[in-house]
Structure 1
Amino acid sequence: MQKPLTILHTEASCGWGGQEIRILTEMAGMNARGHRTMLICPAESNIYREAQERGLDAHALPIGKKRLPGLLALRAWLQQQHVDVINTHSSTDSWLAALACKTLRRAPPIVRTRHISAPINNKGSTRWLYQEATQFIVTTGERLRETLIRENRYDPERILSVTTGIDSQRFVPGDKQMARQVLGLGQGPIIGIVATMRGWKGHSFLLEAFAKLQNPQAQLVMVGHGPQYDNLRALAESLGISGQVLMPGNQQDVVPWLQALDCFVLPSWANEGVPQAMLQAMFVGLPIITTDVGSITEAISHGNNGLIVPTKDSTALLQAITQLLQTPALAMEMGRQARATALERFDFVRMIDKMEHVFERVVVGH
């Protein structure tokens, strides 16, 4: 390792999900290695509050929108602080950081992390942002990296896939019955999802599939919150299954919720890298039902550690859920394979090693 680095993360998003969790866990991991990390985000954002609760160095600036006050505030902050490298995470803060650095005499290099698979346009301004203003791009999946190289013609030597790493000491298989007892869940089949409630996560198709299951002993647990929360609750009521659907909102510790499940379902139809919650479920030893979106299939192999179904297809989801519930030996073997895959490829230490190497490479090259 070179000398300890001062790493600044920027995040314009006010939401809460895997992207924000990765930023904070990565900051803590770098701090543990002797680096100094800081975060700039809007005062009203969830990540600002959570960073403070975790004892991380967070600074509130008006960077939630692409506006001049945010640009000037960020520029002034950078003039007053020594930073070795900036890691941007969303479109708005990436633009503000790029423009601020463009106007500074001695600006730090920028690393842009792309967390989702949404396409990037090929406008000249966007190309400037990614290939001139940004020194290095990190994607959260290899397929995302390949898309940037193929579709956007970005320099492959300056893009690396670094999948989100999971704490293998914390996310472990547990006593399913004990977890259910502690959480007040039933002892029948339990299907679950942990995800921010956005439309493209596919919760509505999971609700429709669960309704078709027609098993009064079964429960569907949907951990998380988000803009679709009220709509999903209303959908569960309209389907006549609200009594079997538990929506506990965001949870500080999702481990017991995962340990209580029989299978984990993530029916996303857009915008995924390798989803963090899915990896957590794999470490807990759960069989996975999901879709071929983003870089999901870099973790899930159909028939081996999970089942891949078509997107937006509640009937296919129902068939996959039924298959796992009716063949517990198959579900158990898929869960075992899922954990083995996770331990081999998605450990937290591996992620920190790779990100540390990226930051050191960029700083030395700059």
Structure 2
Amino acid sequence: MRILLLADSIEVCNGAAKHILLLSKYLQKRGHTVLLLTGSKENIPLAFELQIIECRFLSHRKRSFLNFVRGIIFIKKTIRQFKPDIIHSHHFYCANQAKLVTNKRNQILTLHGIIPKVGYLAHLVGINIIAGTFAIKKYIIEISSNYSNLNLASIPFAASFDNIFLSSEKKPNKKLSIINNPNEILIGFIGRLVDEKGINIFLDSLTKLNTKLKIKVLIVGEGKLSSAIPKIINRIKVTHIKTVTAIKPIYNLIDILVIPSLGMEGLPLVLLEAGLLKKCVIASNVDGLSDVIIHNQNGILIPPGNSDELTKWINELIISKSKRIQLGNNLYKTVRQNNNLKKMIDQTEQLYFKLSRNG
């Protein structure tokens, strides 16, 4: 089967990008031919062969009426040459472009997050929609009243530490060796440093921690709020790493991972990755995160935006190693059962076969 994947961007720290690359890798292992069109990509070499074509006219960040039309022309030319059996979009912007090229029933859109309705473009494009979480499914149902004959498939997102990027870190990261102290508890934050990810809530909570405890902090990510980090360095040991291609060594060092998102999440990949490595997680009680975490069973849920509650639970988990281990082990069981990579590939492939037969 010939499969055309459309993406907004392919970046190292982007959860949707990792999902697309994992999907591509295993579809090719099963004998399918995959072509990926993306609006932008980082120059990070992949650990497997994949044909990728970059076209900025598919990027939502580069959107304009003229670029939208140029993207339609580019997709039309690609479809004519590649002759795909399936067109699978992973962003509503490029899905709208593809829909104007061909309205066949072999088009699929996977929604990777919950985005407020802005602009004129539809968020639900075509009739075949994949929801990777219960929160996304609920969101689709809420906004789908004007859509008839919608074919909604629930295929849970999955995580894996399979190599998809060739690491550009030829030497061990010096910052990681510095913070690798088993006598201290490492509290981690991994994600974009922007308001909606709750980085300011996390930083505020750090200033209230019990300073008598042996702790250190690792922040991995970039964003407009990076400038807030140096302000607390004098109060607590903080290491900031902007980006990494090898993420597993980061998780291996972290004792407590904090995901303090302020609003609805599709499902942050960091939560699933942390679960695979039996890490203790404190997260906001918002749709997406609460689909996976059951409070006090496989993680801790706090009210979004509540730095005092976050501080309380960080202090408690620093002291209780047994609690951290229990929560991490239970999260591992949850992720292994509900977010299985093979199951995700199987269900996606089955949908492809069904649509190609009916198309």
TM-score strictly above 0.5: yes
Equivalence for 1:58: 52
Equivalence for 2:321: 328
Equivalence for 1:165: 158
**Contact 1:51/1:58, CA 8 A, preserved across alignment:** no
Matching of residue 89 in structure 1 with residue 90 in structure 2? yes
Local SS of the residue matching 2:332: helix
Match of 1:135 among 106, 127, 142: 127
| Separation (CA, whole Å) in 2 of partners of 1:357 and 1:306 | 33
| Separation (CA, whole Å) in 1 of partners of 2:177 and 2:118 | 45
Give matches, 1:209-358, under 5 Å.
209-215=205-211, 217-225=214-222, 227-228=223-224, 231-232=225-226, 234-241=227-234, 244-358=237-351
Local SS of the residue matching 2:101: helix
Match of 1:201 among 197, 203, 213: 197
Equivalence for 1:45: 41
What are the Cα deviations for residues 79-110 of structure 1, in whole angstroms up to 9, with x where unaligned? Answer: 122101111112321111111225xxxx5721
What are the Cα deviations for residues 191-234 of structure 1, in whole angstroms up to 9, with x where unaligned? Answer: 11222333211112111111211437311111223x32xx33x2
Local SS of the residue matching 2:160: coil
Change (3 A) 1:137 1:121: farther
Match of 2:115 among 112, 115, 118: 118
**Moved beyond 6 Å, runs of 4+:** 179-182
1:101 partner amino acid: T
Local SS of the residue matching 2:206: helix
1:206 partner amino acid: F
Change (3 A) 1:341 1:300: same
| Separation (CA, whole Å) in 2 of partners of 1:50 and 1:360 | 32
1:264 partner amino acid: L
1:137 partner amino acid: I
Q: TM-score, normalised by structure 1?
A: 0.84
Give matches, 1:3-18, under 5 Å.
5-13=1-9, 16-18=13-15
| Separation (CA, whole Å) in 2 of partners of 1:8 and 1:155 | 25
1:253 partner amino acid: A
Equivalence for 1:176: none
Change (3 A) 1:138 1:29: same
| Separation (CA, whole Å) in 2 of partners of 1:109 and 1:97 | 11
Local SS of the residue matching 1:213: coil
Tell me by how many angstroms 1:75 deviates.
1.2
Change (3 A) 1:347 1:169: farther
2:50 partner amino acid: L
| Separation (CA, whole Å) in 1 of partners of 2:331 and 2:174 | 22
1:82 partner amino acid: K
| Separation (CA, whole Å) in 1 of partners of 2:78 and 2:162 | 38
Equivalence for 2:74: 73
Change (3 A) 1:73 1:108: farther
What are the Cα deviations for residues 30-79 of structure 1, in whole angstroms up to 9, with x where unaligned? Answer: 1111111111013x433xx3475642110122322352222212212211
Equivalence for 2:186: 190
What are the Cα deviations for residues 256-304 of structure 1, in whole angstroms up to 9, with x where unaligned? Answer: 1111111111111224112111111011001110012232222111010
Change (3 A) 1:90 1:70: same
Instruction: State the number of aligned residues.
Output: 338
Q: TM-score, normalised by structure 2?
A: 0.85
Mean alpha-carbon deviation: is it higher for 9-18 or for 332-341? 9-18
| Separation (CA, whole Å) in 2 of partners of 1:73 and 1:151 | 30
| Separation (CA, whole Å) in 2 of partners of 1:121 and 1:34 | 39
Q: For structure 2, which runs of at least 5 residues remain unmatched after alignment? A: 164-172
| Separation (CA, whole Å) in 2 of partners of 1:289 and 1:269 | 13
Change (3 A) 1:152 1:292: farther
Q: For structure 1, which runs of at least 5 residues remain unmatched after alignment? A: 171-178
Match of 1:32 among 25, 29, 32: 29
Mean alpha-carbon deviation: is it higher for 236-245 or for 65-74? 236-245
Change (3 A) 1:188 1:17: same
